[in-house]
């Protein structure tokens, strides 16, 4: 169990870091939308209607680090698996 | 029929021709928008609102006589971060449930200049936000697009009026977290309005 929790903690950290990098390494807050940006050719107005778009921010990294820390901390409550040693 | 009998008819026709047009700003395409920007730690908050309605009376022969009211639905204000959006709509900030509309009512135009179909002016009116009304003057441009409604909305004939304005407000003037969270959200808010109204014939 200890190993599983530690492995999960590492996985959460790696996955969060990879997601953050993949979505542009944004150093602001997490975003779940962006402006449409389409130009209305008749009026010249740029459409600002939000369209879904996930951009991980530093709060996402922080929350992931916290979850990883909790998993790693929880692993301390479990003992290492005893290995059987045989005496000759 | 004597010529004198035609004079009232001619006058009436001339008056009808010169009458201001009423433009409806509820955009069926949903492109009309108001953009707001304010400084905050980490990054500035950029958001927009799309729930725009209202009417403007505009006479291309006399742009200085323009009047009207633009309404923005508070609930339509959005920012890319969901938690910030929730806070913005809450009773602590804009209180969208209690104050569902943000409005600007144009009363008078000054420094009016017109070049081809674009009129620029300083509009004075009443801006209402968070239940507080305040008189203000802002630069505005009005672009009159005659017979262009059909290009945007097929099967309709008429004119378009595009209004662009950029101005700043202080949230404390409108009792929004007055004296509070000064280190978290700037008091100065930049507003940009880009809206098109239609007058069908």
Q: Is B115 on the interface with A (CB under 8 A)?
A: no
User: From its phi and psi, is residue B82 left (phi > 0), alpha (psi between -120 and 50) or beta?
Assistant: alpha
Q: Does pLDDT of B56 surpass 70?
A: yes
Query: How many separate domains does chain A show?
Result: 1
Whether B12 is covered by a domain: the verdict is no
Please compute the mean of the pLDDT values over residues A64-73 and round it to a whole number: 96
CATH for B42:
2.40.128.110
Whether A45 is covered by a domain: the verdict is yes
Query: How many separate domains does chain B show?
Result: 1
Enumerate the residues of chain A whose CB falls inside 8 A of the CB of residue B185: none
Whether B5 is covered by a domain: the verdict is no
State the residue range of the domain holding B68.
20-200
Enumerate the residues of chain B whose CB falls inside 8 A of the CB of residue A35: 48
- Put simply, the chain B residues between 14 and 33 with a CB less than 8 A from any chain A CB are 29-33
pLDDT digits (tens, 9 = 90+) for A32-64: 999 999 999 999 999 999 999 999 999 999 999
Q: What percent of chain A has pLDDT above 70?
A: 91
Tell me which H or E stretch contains A58: helix A58-75
Q: Is B117 on the interface with A (CB under 8 A)?
A: no
HSE (side-chain half, CA atoms, 13 Å) at B77: 29
- What does the block give as tokens for B118? 């674009």
ipTM over 0.95? The verdict is no
Whether B162 is covered by a domain: the verdict is yes
What is the predicted pLDDT for the residue at A83? 64
pLDDT digits (tens, 9 = 90+) for B158-182: 999 999 999 999 999 999 999 888 8
pLDDT digits (tens, 9 = 90+) for B75-84: 999 999 999 9
What is the predicted pLDDT for the residue at B183? 84
What is the predicted pLDDT for the residue at B9? 54
What is the predicted pLDDT for the residue at A79? 80
Q: Does pLDDT of A16 surpass 90?
A: yes
- What does the block give as tokens for B141? 């441009």
Residue B9 per-residue DSSP state: H
Whether A58 is covered by a domain: the verdict is yes
Helix, strand, or coil here: B182? coil
Whether A85 is covered by a domain: the verdict is no
Rounded Cα distance between A46 and A41, Å, is: 9
Q: Does pLDDT of B13 surpass 80?
A: no
Q: Does pLDDT of B113 surpass 60?
A: yes
Q: Which residues pair with B141 in a beta bridge?
A: B120, B164
Whether A81 is covered by a domain: the verdict is no
How far is C-alpha B193 from the chain's CA centre? 6
Nearest CB to A40 within list B31, B78, B84: B31
Main-chain phi, psi angles of B139, to 5 degrees: -70, 140
Whether A19 is covered by a domain: the verdict is yes
Rounded Cα distance between B93 and B79, Å, is: 14
Enumerate the residues of chain A whose CB falls inside 8 A of the CB of residue B38: none
What is the predicted pLDDT for the residue at B63? 95
Whether B55 is covered by a domain: the verdict is yes
Output the average pLDDT for chain B: 92
Nearest CB to A48 within list B33, B148, B196: B33
- Put simply, the chain B residues between 138 and 167 with a CB less than 8 A from any chain A CB are 143, 145, 148, 151-152, 160, 162
Enumerate the residues of chain A whose CB falls inside 8 A of the CB of residue B148: 42
Nearest CB to A50 within list B31, B78, B152: B78
Whether A68 is covered by a domain: the verdict is yes
Nearest CB to B50 within list A30, A32, A48: A48
Please compute the mean of the pLDDT values over residues B121-126 and round it to a whole number: 97
Whether B9 is covered by a domain: the verdict is no
- For the whole model, what pTM was predicted? 0.84
CB B15 within 8 A of CB B8: no
Among the listed ranges A4-8, B40-44, B108-112, B190-194, which one has the minimum average pLDDT value? B40-44
Q: Verify whether the Cβ–Cβ distance A42 to B145 is below 8 Å.
A: yes
State the residue range of the domain holding A52.
2-75
What is the predicted pLDDT for the residue at A1? 87
Terminal alpha carbon distance of chain A: 31
Burial environment of residue A12 by CB neighbours within 10 A (0 to 12, 13 to 18, 19 or more): buried
- B141-146 CB contacts, 8 Å cutoff, 24+ apart: B141/B165, B142/B58, B142/B63, B142/B66, B142/B118, B143/A44, B143/B117, B143/B118, B143/B119, B144/B58, B144/B60, B144/B117, B144/B118, B144/B119, B145/A42, B145/A43, B145/B117, B146/B60, B146/B117
Q: How many Å lie between the alpha carbon of B184 and the closest alpha carbon of chain A?
A: 14
Rounded Cα distance between B35 and B47, Å, is: 6
Nearest CB to A42 within list B43, B148, B195: B148
Whether B15 is covered by a domain: the verdict is no
Query: How many Cβ pairs closer than 8 A exist between chain A and B?
Result: 63
Cα dihedral A52, A53, A54, A55 sign = negative
């Amino acid at each position: 169990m200890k190993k599983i929790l530690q492995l999960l903690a590492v996985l959460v950290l790696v996955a969060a870091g990879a997601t953050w990098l993949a979505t542009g390494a944004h150093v602001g807050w997490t975003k779940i939308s962006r402006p449409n940006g389409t130009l209305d050719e008749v009026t010249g107005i740029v459409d600002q209607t939000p369209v879904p778009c996930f951009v991980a921010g530093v709060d996402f990294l922080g929350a992931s680090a916290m979850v990883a820390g909790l998993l790693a901390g929880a692993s301390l409550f479990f003992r290492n698996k005893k290995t059987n040693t045989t005496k000759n | 029929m004597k010529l004198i009998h035609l004079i009232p008819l001619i006058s009436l026709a001339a008056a009808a021709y010169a009458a201001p047009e009423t433009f409806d700003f509820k955009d069926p395409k949903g492109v009309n928008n108001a953009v707001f920007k304010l400084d905050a730690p980490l990054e500035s908050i950029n958001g927009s609102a799309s729930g725009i309605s209202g009417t403007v009376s505009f006479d291309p022969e006399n742009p200085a006589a323009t009047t009207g009211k633009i309404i923005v639905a508070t609930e339509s204000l959005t920012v890319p971060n969901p938690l910030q959006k929730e806070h913005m709509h809450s009773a602590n900030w804009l209180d969208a449930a209690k104050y569902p509309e943000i409005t600007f009512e144009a009363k008078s135009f000054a420094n009016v200049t017109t070049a081809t179909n674009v009129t620029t002016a300083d509009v004075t009116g009443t801006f209402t936000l968070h239940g507080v009304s305040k008189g203000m003057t802002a630069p505005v441009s009005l672009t009159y697009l005659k017979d262009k409604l059909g290009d945007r909305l097929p099967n309709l004939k008429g004119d378009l009026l595009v209004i662009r304005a950029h101005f700043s407000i202080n949230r404390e003037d409108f009792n929004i977290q007055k004296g509070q969270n000064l280190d978290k959200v700037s008091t100065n808010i930049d507003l940009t309005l880009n809206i098109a109204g239609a007058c069908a014939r």
